[in-house]
Structure 1
Amino acid sequence: MDQDERLLHASSFGAAAGAYAEHRPDYAQAAVEWALEPAPGPRVLDLVAGTGKLTAGLAALGADVIAVEPDPAMLSELRGALPGVRALSGSAEAIPLPDASVDAVLAGNAMHWFDMAVAGPEIARVLAPGGVLAGLWNLMDDGVEWVSGLARVGGSAAVGPRDTPAAWRAATAGAHLPRTGAAPARFGSPEQAEFAHGQRRTADSLVATLATRAGVLVLPERERAAALGRIRAFLGERPETAHGEFTLPMLTGVLRVRRL
């Protein structure tokens, strides 16, 4: 994906902020705890926080959390859902916080949008020594047969290059983190871990969830309707998904690195 395409996808979510808040899943609590495990203190930045899916999980764990989000519509949803959380307008490339002001920087389904050449030094600047940078991604568990079929039917629009475990492992094996030894701060070696997760859905609500993915949002209307129609037909034919509520099998993948 070139720079212009990346920016188009990254900026697509605001138009669907309400649907994003309603349908996107949270993150496995064990994954959030693992991401924070090496952090030297409770001050956490949720960077490019969207509508607050990860922010809410951090607050529930008792973290002293600050959210930063560039899109006004997404930020409005976050502030409405979590009025007790300090939520600021900003981006990964321009973080509105002082130097060494947080013990951890977490990003939920967002780090792949960062321009890490700029964001890396910014993240290092706001992180205290010993602090943790971690990205979390919710993945569709395509080790389950019907989920694998859904991934094939949905294609690249609904199932992106890091939305299944194998693809995520390859795509995040250090590619979106500051380089080890990079100025102005050193980072240790990245670690990956995966945690079982799931989301209760119906066929209609799963289609609505997939409709909030960037690969779908940027499609022309006719192509978007066709892609979602194929997914809806598939779900209507499968015994696991055709009748009422079901659990979408997922994993939360975490990539973390510590500032030395």
Structure 2
Amino acid sequence: MAGEELISGRAASFGRRAADYAQHRPDYPVAAVEWALAPVAAERPRVLDLAAGTGKLTAMIAALGLDVVAVEPDDAMRAELSALLPEVTALSGAAERIPLPDASVDAVLVGQALHWFDHERALPEIGRVLRRGGVLAGLWLDDDTSVEWVAGMDRIYTAHTPGDESRGMVLPVELGPFEPQEQAEFPHRQRRTAETLVATAATHSKLLTMPEPERGQALDRMLAYLKSRPETAEGEFDFPMRAVVLRAIRS
């Protein structure tokens, strides 16, 4: 499997571990979500959480008291979202075919998913449902490898998952009706144990699509490393991350 087929396979891998994703994936820092929405915050915006997954970002938008609609293509992921947030409208759809009318939302937020989109189709479609002056923002969580033990964990992960055919942290605004993008970063932490941090890693697409026994060997190496470190060997600890946010205004 290569190129776009590999990307598509990885993007579709999450549903079969939807419950694990809901349990182990981190949320986002409130400050990052607020910064993403700042250009429209005074208007009590209606927000679309696009590729909403199990509702990690949806829940935070709802907690801010905002009107939010979630769109998610995977049935299993969307079922987890609806179980967690029954009051939120959750629709089947994708970035390339959003089931909403023209200019019907004030903001489109995309958590940890914009790199999976077919950008040439998705950016004009996002521009269609977003009213003029509205905001598009992509949010990503990344390990804070400035911390020495986190860098060691990351080296083990990348040794077992070389290369990356995804599109990375990008907001290709030139493909849609958007003004130049802005970027900000925010520190974040997730309370973990060695076992639950490995369980979180196991929900990443590269490991979800890795064949056995390689997958089990990679996870075992990560656990052995965490058990060897004084910071992570016993009990709970803070896993340091950073949230990267890219936003652009609909022109």
Aligned residue for 1:37, secondary structure, equals helix
Contact 1:158 1:210 in 2 (8 A): no
On the 8 A contact 1:67/1:88 being kept in 2, the answer is yes
Q: 1:57 to 1:157 in 2, by over 3 A?
A: farther
Find the aligned partners of 1:128 and 1:135 in 2 and give their Cα distance: 17
Contact 1:116 1:178 in 2 (8 A): no
For 2:203, give the aligned amino acid: T
Aligned positions of 1:1-260 closer than 5 A: 2-39=3-40, 41-155=44-158, 171-172=168-169, 175-179=170-174, 182=175, 185=177, 187-260=178-251
TM-score (norm 2): 0.94
Structure 2 CA distance for aligned equivalents of residues 153 and 199 of structure 1:
20
* Paired residues of 2:207 and 2:215 also in contact (CA < 8 A): yes
Shift of 1:157: 5.2
Question: How many aligned positions are there?
Answer: 248
The 1:188–1:159 alpha-carbon spacing in structure 2 relative to 1, beyond 3 Å, is farther
Identity level (%): 57
Provide the aligned C-alpha RMSD in A. 1.9
What CA distance in whole angstroms lies between the structure 1 residues aligned with 2:239 and 2:162?
14
Quote the Cα distance in structure 2 between the aligned partners of 1:157 and 1:55.
32
Tell me if the contact between 2:106 and 2:130 (Cα under 8 Å) persists in the aligned partners. yes
Instruction: Give the Å deviation of 1:176.
Output: 3.5
Give distance in 2, aligned partners of 1:221 and 1:256: 39
Report the alpha carbon displacement of residue 177 of structure 1 after superposing the two structures with TM.
2.4
Q: Give unmatched runs, 5+ long, in structure 2.
A: none
Q: Distance in 2 between matches of 1:137 and 1:224?
A: 24
Q: Distance in 1 between matches of 2:76 and 2:203?
A: 14
Taking a change above 3 Å as real, the CA distance of residues 5 and 176 of structure 1, as seen in their structure-2 partners, is: farther
- Distance change >3 Å, CA 192–CA 159, structure 1 → 2: farther
* Aligned position for 1:165: none
Per-residue deviation, 1:5: 0.7
Which whole-Å CA distance do the structure 2 matches of 1:158 and 1:143 have between them? 20
Partners of 1:77 and 1:70 in 2: how far apart? 13
CA distance change for structure 1 residues 138 and 159 in 2, over 3 Å: closer, same or farther?
farther
Which amino acid in the other structure matches residue 219 of structure 2? Answer: L
Q: Once the 2 structures are TM-superposed, how far is the Cα of residue 155 of structure 1 from its aligned partner?
A: 1.3
- C-alpha separation between the residues in 1 aligned to 2:85 and 2:161? 28
State the one-letter code of the partner of 1:206. L
